[in-house]
Amino acid sequence: MAVAAVLKAVLDADAALMLRVRDGDSSSFNLLLERHRTPVIHFLFRMVQNQAIAEELAQEAFLRVYRSRASYEPSAKFTTWLFRIATNLAFNWIRDQRSRKSQESLQDLSASGDTHHLCDGQPSVESVLVHEVKLNEVREAISRLPDKQRAAVLMHKYEEMEYSHIARVLGCSESAVKSLLFRAYESLRARLAQYA
Amino acid sequence: MTEQRFRCPLQSEENAQLLLDYCARRLDPSRRAALEAHIGLCPSCREFSQAQRLVWEALDAWDSSGGAADFDRRLYQRISEERKPPWADRLTAWTAEISWKPALPAAAALALWVTFFPVRPTEEAEGFERVAAEQVEGALEDLDMLQQLKLNLQ
């Protein structure tokens, strides 16, 4: 077991960097930040559908990583740990939003920070509108998924994670992840097939 | 009708991973070829994979290209704030806890006093000079007295 853990740590360059951070090397933290900042922000943006909140949660995720540096042990892949922190932060935020019942739909919230998606060339007004309608439908369909299904789909589709990796992030079995994805994609097929 | 009702066992919750991986283009070539052969014969799986492909393409439209320009700066600022020595936090907390309300009337009274009874440095300086002159005169008088005493003794 111990040998396996050591091998994993050797293979996981991120874990090696994190071990250096633990030993006081702040430049290694900068490397980790450069490597994972964008995927984490994008994942959180798709989870909470608000750019400012996503950045805030990503800040908190990296801050927690930094705070935990002294006690870090490479028992799992670094990205598993990082995405677990990020996912839990997103779940908590979504839960808090629900409990507040502020009536702000996720679609309304998204209006503040996603105009940057259409940046390729000069598309016609019609194609922009079609794209926007399609995008809204995708966002809406994703936001309607239960939290765990949503996280599983986002990690599977956009982060291209393996089932086992998603399972470790979500703290469930691999078969549970397959079940989550099956049901999530079933819902998405029902909602999105016509817009593709 | 019978085609729509039939659901291939490959689409069950336990087995659908194969079809999902196929649509996500994550199957190795040999398994992909085997599944494609099956899909060629199974209208239900063909329909499933077509619908899943459309979902996949729809999700592709949701491109998240945004990145925070000053993300790192803000993060390092928060980290440096956490690195502050504990006494700085305690001092900040202590000053935050102090209620300045009781001191407000005293400050107002002091401001009024200064307004109506300003300090006059010139008068004070004159007084100081007057006192100094009197002290010099007194000293000279004392010297005169001493001289007179000497003369009387002689």
Instruction: Collect all residues from A whose CB is shorter than 8 A from any CB in B.
Output: 30, 33, 37-38, 41-42, 45-46, 51, 55, 58-59, 62-63, 66-67, 113-114, 116-117, 119, 131, 134-135, 137-139, 142, 156-158, 163, 175, 178-179, 181-183, 185, 188-189, 192-193, 195-196
Question: Are residues A70 and A10 located together in one domain of the fold?
Answer: yes
Question: Are residues A96 and A163 located together in one domain of the fold?
Answer: no
| Most B-contacting residue of A55, A64, A153 (CB-CB within 10 A), to test interface | A55
- Domain-located, residue B134: yes
Mind giving me the DSSP string for A77-132?
Answer: -HHHHHHHHHHHHHHHHHHHHHHHT----HHHHGGGS-GGG--SS---HHHHHHHH
Number of folded domains that form chain B: 2
Question: Are residues A130 and A178 located together in one domain of the fold?
Answer: yes
Task: Identify the sign of the CA torsion A73, A77, A81, A82.
Answer: positive
Question: Are residues A71 and A2 located together in one domain of the fold?
Answer: yes
Task: State the average pLDDT over residues B9-17.
Answer: 84
Residues 6+ apart with CB under 8 A from B88: none
Question: Are residues A134 and A80 located together in one domain of the fold?
Answer: no
Number of folded domains that form chain A: 2
Is the CB of B81 inside 8 Å of chain A's CB atoms? no
Residue A160 has what DSSP assignment?
A: -
**Per-residue confidence (pLDDT) for residue B124, from 0 to 100:** 63
- Domain-located, residue B52: yes
Domain boundary among A69, A102, A135: A102
Containing domain of residue B16, as a range?
2-60
Structure tokens at A145: 């998924």
Q: Which of B77, B74, B68 is nearest to A51 (CA)?
A: B68
Question: Are residues A67 and A164 located together in one domain of the fold?
Answer: no
Using left for φ > 0, alpha for ψ between -120 and 50, and beta otherwise, residue A181 falls in alpha
**Per-residue confidence (pLDDT) for residue A116, from 0 to 100:** 46
Question: Are residues A11 and A97 located together in one domain of the fold?
Answer: yes
Question: Are residues A13 and A61 located together in one domain of the fold?
Answer: yes
Domain boundary among B45, B60, B75: B60
**Per-residue confidence (pLDDT) for residue A56, from 0 to 100:** 95
- Domain-located, residue B99: no
Is the CB of B57 inside 8 Å of chain A's CB atoms? yes
**Per-residue confidence (pLDDT) for residue A115, from 0 to 100:** 44
- Domain-located, residue B53: yes
- Domain-located, residue A116: no
Average pLDDT, chain B: 78
**B79: closest chain A residue by CA:** A63
For the cut 70, the answer to whether the pLDDT of residue B2 exceeds it is no
- Domain-located, residue B91: no
Contact yes or no for A54/A45 (Cβ under 8 A): yes
In tens, the pLDDT along B75-95 reads: 999 988 877 666 666 666 677
CB atoms A131 and B78 under 8 Å:
no
Domain boundary among A102, A134, A163: A102
Task: State the average pLDDT over residues A144-150.
Answer: 96
> What CATH number does residue A168 fall under?
1.10.10.10
Distance CA B54, CA B58 (A): 6
> What CATH number does residue A96 fall under?
1.10.1740.10
Question: Are residues A14 and A91 located together in one domain of the fold?
Answer: yes
Q: What's the ipTM?
A: 0.75
Task: State the average pLDDT over residues B53-65.
Answer: 85
**Per-residue confidence (pLDDT) for residue A107, from 0 to 100:** 56
CB atoms A137 and B58 under 8 Å:
yes
Mean pLDDT lowest among A70-74, B34-38, B67-71? B67-71
**Per-residue confidence (pLDDT) for residue A19, from 0 to 100:** 92
CB atoms A192 and B17 under 8 Å:
no
Mean pLDDT lowest among A18-22, B57-61, B134-138? B134-138
Contact yes or no for B45/B8 (Cβ under 8 A): yes
In tens, the pLDDT along A91-138 reads: 999 999 888 765 555 555 555 554 444 445 566 777 778 778 888 888
Task: List the Cα angle A178/A179/A182 in 5-degree steps.
Answer: 85
CB atoms A66 and B14 under 8 Å:
no
Task: State the average pLDDT over residues B3-23.
Answer: 81
Domain boundary among A102, A131, A146: A102
**Per-residue confidence (pLDDT) for residue B96, from 0 to 100:** 67
Question: Are residues A2 and A67 located together in one domain of the fold?
Answer: yes
- A-B C-beta contacts closer than 8 Å: 101
Question: Are residues A63 and A137 located together in one domain of the fold?
Answer: no
**Per-residue confidence (pLDDT) for residue B146, from 0 to 100:** 57
Containing domain of residue A176, as a range?
123-196
SS3 A150: helix
**Per-residue confidence (pLDDT) for residue B125, from 0 to 100:** 65
pLDDT higher for B3 or B27? B27
